[in-house]
Amino acid sequence: MLNDHFVLALLFFVGGLGLGYSNFLRSLPSTSEWWSKPLMIVVLVIVLQFGSFISLLDEPDTIFLLPLESKMIILLKQAFKHSYLIAALFQSVCFLLAVPFLQKGLHLTGIEMLLLWLVQLLLKAVYLERFLIISYAVNFDKWWIKVLCEIAGPILILIVALYGGVIWALLLTLFALFTLFTLAQRATVKNVLRWKRMLQIENQRMMTLYRFINLFTDVPQVKGKVHRFRLFDAYLPKMKTPKDVFKFLYWRALVRKGEYSSLYLRLTLLGVVVLIFVPNLILTMVLLALFLYLIGFQLLPLYNDHDDIVFTHIYPLKRAERLANFRWVLRVLLLATGVLLVGASAFAGHSMIETMEISAVAIIMIVFLTGNFLTKYAAKSA
């Protein structure tokens, strides 16, 4: 996942974001804007969603640990501490990045920011405490309670913090945490552990992690479904000559296999949405190059997608022809993405000259990804 090219792209991405954030802070007026507080509330609530309950339960545990069910609460409390430590560290780092905006955009004092940071940490504790309760209590495992603890409640408390006073929000959060702690104590005494539900939560957490990693590299645990999509058959390239065999196979694998088509569409759509709202030229170039790299890198496993089919080895085709077919398919896909990303950047308000510069960056990235970079990948995977 963290290969040399991705680390380099990530370095430019973080640098571009830092530059954009710095320019954004400089553009803030001396007086607070009406949108500053709602924006901060949305950001803090979004950050609050990262970091779930880590129980590390596996399917065999439901059998081998069943005789120790009365002692599982000790394990779950340790899991809560472990989960909260990781989540609190992430919340603190994100809050530290928001401090300049809190100072210049919201004009909060040091004491107010410290109390707001404590509120954010306690809200994360409320977020995780709910998992302890639902591991025993079925009645607490409702969708509206999930919304209340993870979204609606934090929004209400942060509104109180930024509009009414941080100290009141801190008291409300402490009351909510104490209430959930009391409910958790009662639930563990009156109920038995919900093994299947806790295993389901842990599997969902791991699949979320796998899907995120799958954006950057191939993950065996994430398997897509194959769909025919007969409507696209008429528009896919036909196999006119023996040299078009892999071109025929690559296009159909791309369209019919969800791990390729959905990844390509998701990253392309995400890139378009992001670039529409980025007026900074340097940041736009960095983001465009990063999205093209991510898409191109993620589509590389398609090159070896048909290695398990014996007929592709028996058929008298040279590897050079196979590589040429894949290079053509990859160029078409990246060119289509590049056109959409350049169009999105033009929509953001860039001038004609800036749009031409952005287009040049897109062309350079496409040539790089489908040139020597692809040749080295093919030789390494041979």
Both 259 and 210 in one domain: the answer is no
Both 208 and 265 in one domain: the answer is no
Q: Over 60: is that where the pLDDT of 229 sits?
A: no
Q: Over 60: is that where the pLDDT of 78 sits?
A: yes
Among 148, 179, 214, give the residue marking a domain's end: 214
Residue 316 has a pLDDT of: 62
Q: Over 80: is that where the pLDDT of 16 sits?
A: no
Residue 133 has a pLDDT of: 93
Residue-wise DSSP of 25-90: HHTS-SSPPTTHHHHHHHHHHHHHTS--------TTHHHHTGGGGGGHHHHHHHHHHHHHHHHHHH
Any domain includes 16: no
pTM: 0.69
What is the per-residue pLDDT across 17-52, written as a single tens digit (0 to 9) for each?
777 788 778 888 877 778 889 999 999 999 999 989
Both 209 and 74 in one domain: the answer is yes
Any domain includes 320: yes
**Coil vs helix vs strand at 226:** strand
Any domain includes 47: yes
What is the per-residue pLDDT across 296-314, written as a single tens digit (0 to 9) for each?
888 888 877 766 665 566 6
Q: Classify residue 116 by burial, with Cβ atoms within 10 Å: 0-12, 13-18, 19+.
A: buried
Among 169, 184, 214, give the residue marking a domain's end: 214
Any domain includes 346: yes
Spatial distance between the Cα atoms of 143 and 134, rounded to a whole number of angstroms: 12
Any domain includes 323: yes
Q: How many CB atoms lie within 10 A of CB 169?
A: 26
Residue 77 has a pLDDT of: 92
Both 260 and 316 in one domain: the answer is yes
Query: How many domains does the chain fold into?
Result: 2
Choice between 360 and 229, residue whose per-residue pLDDT is larger: 360
Any domain includes 322: yes
Among 153, 187, 214, give the residue marking a domain's end: 214
Any domain includes 15: no
CA atoms within 13 A on the CB side of 45: 20
Both 133 and 41 in one domain: the answer is yes
Both 39 and 181 in one domain: the answer is yes
Both 70 and 205 in one domain: the answer is yes
Domain residues for 198? 31-214
Residue 372 has a pLDDT of: 86
Mean pLDDT, to the nearest integer, of 74-88? 94
Both 351 and 305 in one domain: the answer is yes
What is the per-residue pLDDT across 120-178, written as a single tens digit (0 to 9) for each?
999 999 999 999 999 999 988 888 999 999 999 999 999 999 999 999 999 999 999 99
Both 158 and 304 in one domain: the answer is no
Choice between 296 and 239, residue whose per-residue pLDDT is larger: 296
Alpha helices in the chain (DSSP H): 4-26, 36-48, 61-64, 72-104, 110-134, 143-147, 153-159, 166-190, 195-214, 245-256, 258-276, 281-299, 311-314, 319-347, 352-370, 372-381
Any domain includes 147: yes
Choice between 28 and 83, residue whose per-residue pLDDT is larger: 83
Mean pLDDT, to the nearest integer, of 321-349? 89
Both 207 and 238 in one domain: the answer is no
